[in-house]
Homo-oligomer: A and B are copies of this chain.
Amino acid sequence: MPRVRVESFTISLDGFGAGPNQDLANPLGVGGTSLHGWAMATRTFQTHVFGNDGGETGVDDDFAQRGFHNVGAWILGRNMFGPVRGPWPDESWRGWWGENPVYHVPVFVLTHHARAPLVMEGGTTFHFVTDGPEAALARAREAAGDKDVRVGGGVQTIQQYLRLRLLDELHIAISPVLLGSGERLFDGVDLPALGYACTTHVATTRATHVVLGRA
């Protein structure tokens, strides 16, 4: 049965999934890029995301790789799609990822502000969903067919799906960095009460990987 998964979502030692003050120059908030050292080093990110040769294999790469395996649709929060807030001023913002985004499947963007679907190169279409996370998931499941739905983030989006008990599994990486402020992934979310437990725990020199599943 298709699953709903969070993959390769990285938090700092002090629990933040993004730094403060996201803007064009800081898609992950100030300091947020430092979270992703483990992912940047992997062959999967180097080839799949950046189109480079090289990158490392091993545990970090295994986790990066599973994040792209069997994914038929994505869900993103609006802030993960871009820095624009409020009603869309125009159609000019087309995501952080250029004309050929890394998704290559339908992507459902949670927003309060309607916008026509945005068809990109390489199979990615951004659909803007204004009727809430459950509706977005229903549409993503339908688009994904036999494949899984990956919830990309950010923090508030994951928290919404956690509280609705709609996530089957989360792969979280903890990076050895401190952010100090920003959005805490587990603020106001009581994971054991929601039925989650840590099912996998593997660490490398770059990150600690845990998988949280429904107990």
Enumerate chain A interface residues (CB-CB to B < 8 A).
13-15, 31, 172, 174, 176-181, 184, 186, 189-193, 196-198, 201, 203-205, 208, 210, 212
Choose from B31, B191, B203 the contact partner of A14 (Cβ within 8 Å): B191
Choose from B31, B190, B204, B208 the contact partner of A181 (Cβ within 8 Å): B190
Docked-complex contact A13 and B174, CB < 8 angstroms: yes
Docked-complex contact A174 and B208, CB < 8 angstroms: yes
Docked-complex contact A198 and B172, CB < 8 angstroms: no
A190 partner residues in chain B, CB cutoff 8 A: 180-181
Q: Which residue of B lies closest to A16 (CB)?
A: B186
A205 to B201, CA, bound (A): 7
**A13-B198, A14-B186 known; A180+B176 contact, CB < 8 A:** no
- Enumerate the 7 nearest inter-chain pairs by beta-carbon distance, A residue then B residue, closest first: A203-B203, A176-B201, A180-B190, A180-B192, A14-B186, A208-B208, A178-B191
A208 to chain B: closest CB distance in Å?
A: 4
